[in-house]
Structures are given as C-alpha cells and as structure tokens.
C-alpha cells in the first residue's frame, strides 16, 4: 500500500499511477482507501481528474521518498558490490601497514575495477585458508601454491632520540634496553636467536616484552628501547627517520615472506591480476 500511495502522490493522479504500476485505477483507489482507513487519516483530496495531497499526505510522502531513496541507494551499492571483482588478502598488522597497504593503493591507480579487501590478524592463518591470498613468513617454502616475495635482514633499530650509546660491540648491545616480542608465530627470529647467530651466549637484557610487532616498533619509535627490525619490511620507518640502525650488526633472516594462494583462487582473473602485479612491483 505504501508503494502504491507513493506512486499516486508522485503522479498526482490515480489513473497515471495505475498505468505506471500496470494495475487498474480502481485497484489504486482501493489500496489508497485501505491505507487511509488503517491510518485513520485522509491522505488525498479527490477531484474530478486529479487528486491532491492533504497536509498529512504530504508528510507521509516526504517520509516515504526519503526512505525509498535510501533503500534504492543501498540496493544499488549491493548490486555494484556483486558486479565488481574482488578478492581478500590476509597479512599481519605490521605487513599490512608497512608493506601491503601502500602497494594496494598503487594497484588501485591502474586497476580501479578490482576491489582488494584485507584480512588483518597477528595470529597464524588457519588451514584451509579463508582469504584468497595471504602473506606469511616461513622458514621453508609452503606446501600450498605460493610465490616467494622477498627475504630480509634482521638489524637492531631504535629512535634517533634513543640515548643509550653503542660502540658496535655485541656485548654492549646485549645489555642495552631490548624490546622482546612474544609472537604467536614461533618461526620468527627473536633476540636470543639473533645473538646466538653471532656466537654470543651471555646474558641478554629482558626489560620489555610485547606480543605484537607493531607495538614493538612503536615502543622503539618512542625511544624506550631497541627493536629487532626486519629491514625491508620497516623501510618506510627508516626512510622517514622515525627509526635508525642502532649498529651495523645484521643477519640474513633464515626464512622469507611468501604470497600463498587459497586452493582454487588462482583460477580467478582478479586474483591472478593482483598477485602478478604484486610480484612485479616488489620494489
């Protein structure tokens, strides 16, 4: 009845409304009358050929027009969402903010017809994968269909304002305020692993511990300590001067970052397009 009323109110004629809705004029009149009886209000002043809205009818029309417009916009957006090819890629908070998101933005500049959604989490992605793609650090090539993105170097990083002096000696570094990360990902290199690679087996400062790499990086930027940095991953922070290398000591990361495909996702053109672009634009 409300849709019939809106049409009649917009047309200013039951006859014209009937033609638009492909029903009889009497059907329009009957539905409008039923609505008036239900509301206990007169919505139209009836004339010989035309009908005119009463003040109550005008109020109802305004309300319906606003709601029908909003409904129409919502339906249009839902249809558009279904029409636009889209994919989902998963990554950790750090990988997303420092490496992936800037590249998604670049991708959109030349591929605006593909929607790229991100699934960000700091715990391992469960198998079978839900996202179409994930970026994951691994010590060995994954068993799934995957492409190696890049390796990295692990270096000590700190804020330019960090006041602890460093003479480049491994023993001095071991006693400096270190930011440790207790990650859900057990294959990430930590400070004990890093020092061990230099043959150091002495005591290590354990002043600060966090469970999120983004938080660890922020603590380092705030000048509270030294974080173990993945040089390529945190390059934006080095370029901006928010972090600097604490010393020249570094090791090659034992693993690498991989782009892993959900089973069957590579068959979709949008997934192939985005993954190929990502691999071709690693720098």
pLDDT in tens, the chain (283 residues): 778 877 777 887 888 877 877 888 887 788 878 877 887 888 888 877 677 888 887 887 888 777 777 776 776 666 555 668 899 999 998 899 999 999 999 999 888 889 999 999 888 888 888 999 999 999 999 999 999 999 999 999 999 988 766 666 888 899 899 999 887 666 778 899 999 999 998 999 887 888 888 899 999 999 999 999 999 999 999 999 999 998 889 999 999 999 999 999 999 999 999 999 999 998 7
The pLDDT value recorded for residue 88 is 95
Instruction: Kindly state the helix (H) or strand (E) to which residue 148 belongs, with its residue range.
Output: strand 146-150
Sequence-distant (6+) residues with CB within 8 A of 190 are 180, 181, 183, 228
Tell me where in the chain the CATH 1.10.10.10 domain(s) lie.
2-83
The pLDDT value recorded for residue 38 is 82
Tell me where in the chain the CATH 3.40.190.10 domain(s) lie.
153-252
The pLDDT value recorded for residue 206 is 83
* CATH superfamily, with its number, for domain 153-252: Periplasmic binding protein-like II (3.40.190.10)
The pLDDT value recorded for residue 69 is 73
Helix axes 101-110, 269-280, angle to 10 degrees: 110
Closest CA to 241 of 221, 219, 218: 221
In CATH, the architecture of 2-83 is: Orthogonal Bundle (1.10)
**C-beta contacts of 158-161 below 8 A and 24+ residues apart:** 158/220, 158/223, 158/225, 158/226, 158/227, 158/243, 158/244, 158/246, 159/220, 159/221, 159/222, 159/223, 159/242, 159/243, 159/244, 160/241, 160/244, 161/223
CATH 3.40.190 for domain 86-144+262-280: yes
């Amino acid at each position: 009845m409300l849709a019939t009323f809106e049409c009649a109110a917009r047309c200013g004629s039951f006859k014209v409304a009937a033609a638009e809705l492909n029903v009889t004029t009497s059907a329009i009149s009957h539905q409008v009358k039923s609505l008036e009886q239900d509301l206990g209000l007169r919505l139209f002043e009836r004339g010989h050929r035309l009908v005119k809205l009463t003040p109550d009818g005008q109020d109802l029309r305004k309300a319906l027009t606003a709601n029908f417009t909003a409904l129409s916009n919502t339906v249009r957006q839902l249809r558009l969402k279904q029409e636009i090819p889209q994919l989902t890629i998963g990554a950790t908070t750090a990988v997303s903010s420092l490496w992936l998101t800037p590249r998604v933005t670049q991708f959109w500049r030349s591929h605006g017809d593909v929607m790229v959604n991100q699934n960000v989490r700091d715990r391992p992605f469960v198998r079978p994968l839900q996202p179409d793609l994930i970026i994951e650090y691994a010590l060995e090539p994954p068993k799934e269909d995957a492409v190696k993105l890049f390796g990295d170097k692990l270096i000590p990083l700190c804020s330019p304002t960090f006041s602890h002096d460093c003479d480049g000696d491994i023993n001095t570094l071991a006693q400096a305020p270190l930011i440790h990360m207790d990650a859900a990902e057990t294959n990430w290199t930590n400070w004990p692993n890093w020092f061990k690679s230099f043959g150091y087996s002495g005591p290590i400062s354990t002043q600060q511990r966090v469970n999120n790499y983004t938080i660890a990086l922020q603590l380092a930027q705030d000048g509270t300590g030294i974080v173990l940095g993945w040089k390529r991953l945190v390059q934006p922070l080095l370029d901006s001067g928010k972090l600097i290398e604490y010393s020249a000591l570094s090791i090659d990361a034992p693993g690498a970052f991989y782009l892993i495909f959900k089973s069957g996702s590579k068959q979709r053109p949008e997934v192939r397009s985005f993954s190929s672009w990502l691999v071709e634009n690693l720098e």
